[in-house]
């Protein structure tokens, strides 16, 4: 059990949540190790390597008591084996679109509060579209299909020095404001096989490249001895995370953006087959020419393919032109 004596090196990590009045969700971890934060900019390879590796030198704390304080409501749960915790609840009061804040507290064996962090939850505006986007090799060049290349850029480059695909920023800027009013952006959800260890690095990359704000839904944390398997989380988890988002927002049409380095064509086709009336378009970036035909065949095999706009593209300009053609982006 945790107490004031043994909790000095415990980290309570809370991630930004999402939802609406009737269905809110927020995630986090409890672990031993150095708290993950946005790192200072440097081009020094050794400093970037050292900082990245430290993100994986953690020890999850299972069965830790965590409570959410939201308005006049207190909800308690315990962490899972990997230190992960999740709160799902209804707000007792109506929530307007925008950011809302509660408090998450780590409790000790004697009911004392050992740590606490704000719980920020985003309530999107009700817009016509919502967007789910992969990150690695969809927006950020990551070489997911080649383990050595992926590890090299991950370990040696600061997030500000990671490459963004040409035209991706302009495409996403158009999508986030498609058929909305000023100050009412379409919601973006960045669902990735990258681990929660990389949460702040991804935030840095997105902020630096001025990509649309959104909610990050990442994969299970890994430890140092699993570092060489980073980005290789089972894709069933990615599928379930996307379905959870779609359940929370039943009124929006979804646009799914991914690539063919791993399983995005299969995942997105499975979603379209299960809820065809919820999917407006699917975009797959072709970064593995040997799998381009497979990706196209997978999208063509969708049962309601004639009602869902799909494209396998080589350059962001092609996706932009297609989005204008099908009326997703205003000309």
The model's pTM is 0.93
To 5 degrees, how large is the angle CA 303–CA 188–CA 200? Answer: 125
Hey, where are the domains in the chain? 10-123, 129-325
Residue 240 contacts residue 200 (beta carbons within 8 Å): no
- What pLDDT, on the 0 to 100 scale, is given for residue 85? 98
Provide the CATH number for the domain formed by 129-325 in this structure.
3.40.50
DSSP 60-86: E-TT-EEEEEETTEEEEEE--TTSEEE
- What pLDDT, on the 0 to 100 scale, is given for residue 234? 62
Low-confidence ranges of the chain (pLDDT < 50): none
Say whether 111 sits in a helix, a strand or coil.
coil
Question: In sequence order, which residues have a C-beta less than 8 Å from that of residue 184 and are 6 or more positions away?
Answer: 97, 125, 127
- What pLDDT, on the 0 to 100 scale, is given for residue 232? 59
- What pLDDT, on the 0 to 100 scale, is given for residue 305? 87
- What pLDDT, on the 0 to 100 scale, is given for residue 233? 62
- What pLDDT, on the 0 to 100 scale, is given for residue 33? 85
Residue 115 contacts residue 7 (beta carbons within 8 Å): yes
The Cα–Cα gap between 330 and 291 comes to 31
Is there a shared CATH topology between the 10-123 domain and the 129-325 domain?
A: no
Residue 27 contacts residue 86 (beta carbons within 8 Å): yes
Helices 45-54 + 147-156 axis angle, to 10: 100
Residue 215 contacts residue 190 (beta carbons within 8 Å): yes
Say whether 22 sits in a helix, a strand or coil.
coil
- What pLDDT, on the 0 to 100 scale, is given for residue 12? 95
The Cα–Cα gap between 211 and 209 comes to 6
Phi, psi of 37 (to 5 degrees): -145, 170
Indicate the pairing of strand 59-60 with strand 23-32.
Answer: antiparallel
User: What's the topology of domain 10-123?
Assistant: Immunoglobulin-like (2.60.40)
Helices 236-248 + 264-274 axis angle, to 10: 40
- What pLDDT, on the 0 to 100 scale, is given for residue 191? 96
- Per residue in 270-326, pLDDT (tens digit) is 999 999 999 999 999 999 999 999 999 999 999 888 999 999 999 999 999 999 999
């Amino acid at each position: 059990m945790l107490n004031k004596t043994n909790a000095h090196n415990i980290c309570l990590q809370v991630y930004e949540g999402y939802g609406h009045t009737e269905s809110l969700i927020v995630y986090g971890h409890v672990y031993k190790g150095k708290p993950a934060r946005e790192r200072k900019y440097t081009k020094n390879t050794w400093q970037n390597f050292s900082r990245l590796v430290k993100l994986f030198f953690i020890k999850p704390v299972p069965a830790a008591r965590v409570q959410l304080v939201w308005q006049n409501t207190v909800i308690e749960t315990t962490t899972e084996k990997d230190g992960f915790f999740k709160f799902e609840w209804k707000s007792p009061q109506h929530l307007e679109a925008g950011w809302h804040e509660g408090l998450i507290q780590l409790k000790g064996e004697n009911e004392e509060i050992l740590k606490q962090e704000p719980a920020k939850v985003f309530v999107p505006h009700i817009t016509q579209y919502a967007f789910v986007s992969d990150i690695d090799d969809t927006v950020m060049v990551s070489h997911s299909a080649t383990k050595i290349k992926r590890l090299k850029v991950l370990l040696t480059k600061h997030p500000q020095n990671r490459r963004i695909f040409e035209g991706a920023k302009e495409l996403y800027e158009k999508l986030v404001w498609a058929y909305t009013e000023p100050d009412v952006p379409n919601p973006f959800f960045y669902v990735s096989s990258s681990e929660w260890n990389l949460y702040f690095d991804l935030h840095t990359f997105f902020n630096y490249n001025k990509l649309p704000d959104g909610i990050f839904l990442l994969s299970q944390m890994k430890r140092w001895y699993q570092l060489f398997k980073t980005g290789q989380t089972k894709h069933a988890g990615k599928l379930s995370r996307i379905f959870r988002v779609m359940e929370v927002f039943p009124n929006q049409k979804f646009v799914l953006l991914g690539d063919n380095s791993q399983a995005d064509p299969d995942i997105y086709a499975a979603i379209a087959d299960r809820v065809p009336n919820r999917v407006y378009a699917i975009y797959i970036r072709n970064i593995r020419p040997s799998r381009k035909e497979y990706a196209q065949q997978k999208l063509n095999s969708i049962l309601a393919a004639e009602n869902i706009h799909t494209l396998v593209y080589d350059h962001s300009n092609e996706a932009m032109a297609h989005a204008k053609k099908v009326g997703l982006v205003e000309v």
